[in-house]
Each structure stands twice: as structure tokens, then as C-alpha cells.
Structure 1
Amino acid sequence: MSAEINVTFRTTQAEMQRAMLQAGGQLQRRRPKGPFVLFVIALCVIMILGLYVIDNWLNFDTQLSHLIAFLIGMVSVFGIVVVNARLMLRETAARSMEQDAARGDVEVCFDASGVRFENNLGNSFNKWTAISEVMSLSDATALRMGAIIHPIPDAALPMAPDAFREQLQAWKDAA
């Protein structure tokens, strides 16, 4: 076991976006889609049955066109919410990358006690218990801390990427 591993790198916006997409894709593949699909189907059935019951109970003169218009409106609102969320995520990512020039090189020190990040904007230390996962990406190793992904480019590593990940995982497991 190494006593300490030091890595210095600068992450470009393209590298950060690629790492976030790859890490997000890995997380989504682990999540079962069946329960969500069943929930959406059940919600649609309940809404349609609810509208039918209300229509018959309150004796509204509702036609099929009203139901279709309601469903189109509901899907439209859902689409607006999704588009707005994506735009907000893009804006957040753009703001985060604006600090890249000021951040400069990132120096990361890994050891048995945790991970130390240092750059021109500040320093932080995280114990291994704060690291949710050590992830293997196509050209980087990512540390996931909740919803935050910290990619470490494989090109900046002082050792083979697989050995690096094994060492990090060993420290994480020992914590």
C-alpha cells in the first residue's frame, strides 16, 4: 500500500461534462426502471378513472375531447418542467466552469485518512466516509460524493489507473 498519492491536473469543461455524463449513465443503469414505469402507469389510470368518476358523479357534460385536451395540457406542463430543469442544470454547469480559469491546477492528495483538494480558490479535506463511490470512467477515475462528481484524469495519475482505483477503494473500505 502506498502511504500517499499526489495528483495535479486541470479539468477542462469538455472533460468535466464527459465525466458527469458517464458517471450519471452508470448511476442510471443501476436504478431499476420498472417501479417508476409502474408508478407512471398507475398515476395515469388513477387520473383517468378519477376524471370518469367526477364526470359521472357530478353529471358534467364532458366529452372525450375534454379528456384529451386535459391530458395534452398535463403532458405539456410536464414537458415545460423537464425543459426548465435541463436549462437550470446547464446554467449551473456553466457557472461552475466559469471558475475554472481562476481555479487553476487542482492538487489532490490521497492517503489513508482521506482526500485533500487544493487549488487557487480554496482547500478542502474529505474523509473516506464522505466518498460515496470510486468510479471507473473511460479516461478518468471519479470520486462520487453524493450528487457531486470529482473526476481525476487517468493521464495525470502517477500509476496505472486500475492500481490507483484499487488503492483508493482499499482506503475507502478500511475507513
Structure 2
Amino acid sequence: MIGLLSICQENIINDRIASTFSSIILKNFGDKLNDVFATINENEWTSFCQGLITLICIKLFYQGNANERSNAFDLLSKMPEGEQREYAALKLLDLLYHLPYRLPSDEGMVLFELVKPDDLKLKYLELADSLEIYIMYVTYFINKSEDNANDLKENIKSQLDRLLKENHLP
């Protein structure tokens, strides 16, 4: 049922109880990861994934502890390789992009590595929590990109100019 809940910037509230709830469910899920995945059929995957991403997002948004946040990303990394894991990572990136959440370097790199290079979008660079992290992400994107290097550089330059003008990167 959690997959039916929508999270957006307008309805997210800083709440310790929601964070504790999501942490308990994610811990139990992580302990039985393979057993749970064996029971999910293809028709249930989208709803299950949305619920999982919602719980991870709640945990990330409210946890100040870097170890707790890291555990949420470890959970995605432990998922069986394939389309489902990539789908979950992309859904989480998209959700975090639309929320006031910024990714420290280690968190962003974990998510980026779970996604095919062709699916990485420049908008995900905006999740960086500092100029230094942004540059690290840009380097990763350029190394993985198969796009025209000149177009990519121009798009990155435009994005960086805008982000600096908006004081988006401290």
C-alpha cells in the first residue's frame, strides 16, 4: 500500500515517527531481501518499487546520520542486478530531484553506478550538495557519456552558469 502514497515537496513533513517507521520496514526488508524478491511477480513490481522508493526517500530525508543514509543506498545495491534495480535507482533519482534533497558524493555515485550511462540525465547533477561534488559528478558523466562531447560540454556549462547564478551550489 505504501506504493500508492505520493511524496512531493508540498506534502513532505519532517517527522521522526515516519523516519522510524521506514527504518524498521527497510531493515526487515534488507534482512530478507532475496526471500522478498522471490515472491514479487512482474505485475506487482511497479507498486512494490514505488513503495520501496517512498520508504527510502523518507529515511534519507529525515536521517541526519550518514550511516543510516548509507544503509538505504546499500539496500538498492544489494538488489539483484538488472532492470528492476536500475528502475528503482532511476525512480529514486527522479524523486530526490523533485525534493529539497542534495546528495553527498558517496550517495550520488552509488546511485549513478546503478543506472545505465544512457539513462543518466544532466538534471541529476543538480542533486550535488556542493560545487566540488558537482564537479565530481560532471567528471563521472563525461567519462560515461557517449553523447557528442561538444553538446554535452555546452549543456553542462549552461547548467553550471544557472546553478551558480541561483546560488544552488554552496
Classify the TM-score, shorter chain.
under 0.3
Greater relative contact order (Cα 8 A, min sep 6): structure 1 or 2? 1
Larger Rg: 1
* Higher relative strand content: 1
* Higher relative helix content: 2
**TM-score normalised by length of structure 2:** 0.23
